[in-house]
Structure 1
Amino acid sequence: MGAAFFYHLTESPLEHTLAMLLGKADQAGWRCAVLGCSAERMIWLDQRLWLGAGDAFLAHGLAGGTYDADQPILLTTNDDFQNGASCLMSVDGADVEPEVVTAMERVCILFDGNDTDAVDKARAQWKTLTDAGCSAQYWAQDNGSWTKKAER
């Protein structure tokens, strides 16, 4: 049974935190899906991930291609994870159902702490998932480090 990890972004931009978490998921041997709400935003993230940071390289692809099933990281706007993902990264308020949390090794929900709508959406998602019996952790940035602030 998986768990949902909520990441409250206040210091680092989404693309940096996402790349860091994807790198850790890769080290754990997990195939990942990045679930977003718009194709344009997934294209933007695709470009940022290809740029990488230093020597960091994250092989990935946009959903809808011939080789979706082969992608270690698949960027998508639907929950049909063709690459057999065992880790899900939800961005931009993409909904995650409790059944998805229990089916995955880990679900990471990244949200912009400077956007009140995003914070409200994350709070609602926390309530939905924990009310359904999913384990959840809340992580916030604190002077450049991640600190676990709550667990349920």
Structure 2
Amino acid sequence: MQVDFYQLSRDPVEQVLPAIAGRILDMGARLLVVAQEPERLERISAGLWAGPPESFLAHGRSGEGAESMQPVLLAADCAAANGARHIALADGLWREEALQFERAFYFFDSETIEGARASWRDLSKREGVTPRFWRQEGRKWVQGP
């Protein structure tokens, strides 16, 4: 199980997540995006709409119906009603349920960095979990040590 830690220092999650969601959809997979705050989910939804028409990322919100048909599902919890095997934790909070997925993307910023550090220490000791760290350098993402 792979957990990718993304330290947001330049761009907010709603600007970063669409590229990752696009890659997951290109692989023929589905994504569950989790955040507690409805406002954050709304910004992420707007970000998924914001690209050029050819890069449209079909998505829906949990509780709006037809969840099982959504390639990208936005939700407040880790219940993958769309059958997703990839999860994006978009609010800087680690959830143990993420370990039930094939791959987790854990986005954190300066306000949630302490929780991310504690999660890294914990997850790096677990059998079968491979944590990877990514940071922004200009407009590029580079893998850290």
Tell me the TM-score normalised to structure 1 length: 0.86
Deviation string, structure 1 residues 45-68 (Cα, Å, up to 9, x no partner): 212322235632100001112101
1:136 and 2:131 aligned: yes
- Provide structure 1 residue ranges, at least 5 long, that are not aligned to the other structure: none
1:105 and 2:102 aligned: yes
Q: Structure 1 residues 144 and 54, CA, compared in 2 at 3 Å: closer, same or farther?
A: farther
- Provide structure 2 residue ranges, at least 5 long, that are not aligned to the other structure: none
Partner residue in 2 for 1:29 = 28
Percent of counterpart pairs with the same letter? Answer: 31
After superposing on structure 2, the runs of 4+ consecutive aligned residues of structure 1 that deviate more than 4 Å are none
CA distance in 1, matches of 2:118, 2:107: 14
1:70 and 2:69 aligned: yes
CA distance in 1, matches of 2:54, 2:17: 16
Shift of 1:38: 1.4
Q: Is the 8 A contact 2:14 2:43 kept in 1?
A: no
Q: Is the 8 A contact 2:67 2:81 kept in 1?
A: yes
Matches within 5 A, 1:83-122: 83-97=82-96, 100-101=98-99, 103-112=100-109, 115=110, 117-122=111-116
* Greater displacement, 139-148 / 63-72: 139-148
Q: For this pair of structures, how many residues does the alignment match?
A: 144
Tell me the TM-score normalised to structure 2 length: 0.89
Q: Is the 8 A contact 1:33 1:85 kept in 2?
A: yes
Q: CA RMSD in A?
A: 1.7
